[in-house]
Amino acid sequence: MKILVVEDDTAQRLLVKRMILQIKECEVFEAKDGVEGLRVVEIVNPDLVFTDLWMPVMNGITMLERIRHKPEFKTLPVVVMSALNDKETVGSVVQLGVSGYLLKPITQKQIEEKLLQLLEHETEK
């Protein structure tokens, strides 16, 4: 399994990566903004993406819109990690077909629950 973590805060990115690796043996790729995240998605073709929303260069919403415009990534599971909890923001990413919305600060339990839920969904296919 290949998982991409897109997060501009280095400490947060490494923390999420460490949490994922404690739950599941897999390859975890990293990107510091949406532009880099898009590049990694196209090169690596991950099974799952965890992304922050507010990042420099390209934010997570724009990155998600661009991912969804590519037919091969229309159903790529994407989990948003954000401190924003307003209806407008959540609504806009839900319309883009996210697989989850985790409120920061992210906990090991949140990552584990979402990862196990997505893995269970994949095995049902």
61-106 pLDDT per residue, tens: 999 999 999 999 999 999 999 998 889 888 888 999 999 999 999 9
> Which are the contacts of 77, defined by CB distance < 8 A and separation ≥ 6?
47, 48, 49, 99, 118
Q: What is the pLDDT confidence band of residue 125, given thresholds at 50, 70 and 90? A: low
Q: Write down the pLDDT at residue 22.
A: 94
Q: Write down the pLDDT at residue 121.
A: 74
Cis bond upstream, residue 71 (ω within 30) = no
Q: What is the pLDDT confidence band of residue 109, given thresholds at 50, 70 and 90? A: very high
- Count of Cβ atoms closer than 10 Å to residue 86 Cβ: 9
Domains and their CATH numbers in the chain: 2-124 (3.40.50.2300)
Q: Within 13 Å and on the Cβ side, how many CA atoms surround 83?
A: 5
Q: Which of 87, 67, 85, 84 is nearest to 75 (CA)?
A: 67
What tens digit of pLDDT does each residue of 11-67 get?
A: 999 999 999 999 989 999 999 999 999 999 999 999 999 999 999 999 999 999 999
